[in-house]
Amino acid sequence: MEQSDWKSGIKKLLNLCQDEVKKTTKIGHKMIHASHTNTCLKDAYEKLGKVVFEAMESKSLVWEDEIAVDLFNKINDCRNNMVILEEEVNKIKFQDKSAVK
Structural contact between residues 78 and 72, judged by C-beta atoms closer than 8 angstroms: no
Chunked mean pLDDT (size 10), the chain, 101 residues? 83 95 94 96 96 96 93 95 95 75 54
Contacts of residue 68, Cβ cutoff 8 Å, sequence gap at least 6: 52, 56
Structural contact between residues 75 and 94, judged by C-beta atoms closer than 8 angstroms: no
Give the DSSP letter string of 33-75.
Answer: HHHHHHHHHHHHHHHHHHHHHHHHHTTSS----HHHHHHHHHH
Instruction: Look at residue 19 in the predicted model and tell me its pLDDT.
Output: 93
Same domain, 27 and 73: no
Instruction: Look at residue 6 in the predicted model and tell me its pLDDT.
Output: 87
Rg (CA), the chain: 30
Same domain, 5 and 41: yes
Instruction: Look at residue 99 in the predicted model and tell me its pLDDT.
Output: 59
Identity of residue 92: I
Instruction: Look at residue 1 in the predicted model and tell me its pLDDT.
Output: 54
CA dihedral 51, 54, 59, 63 (to 10 degrees): 50
Same domain, 39 and 75: no
Instruction: Look at residue 97 in the predicted model and tell me its pLDDT.
Output: 66
Q: Which domain holds residue 1?
A: 1-61
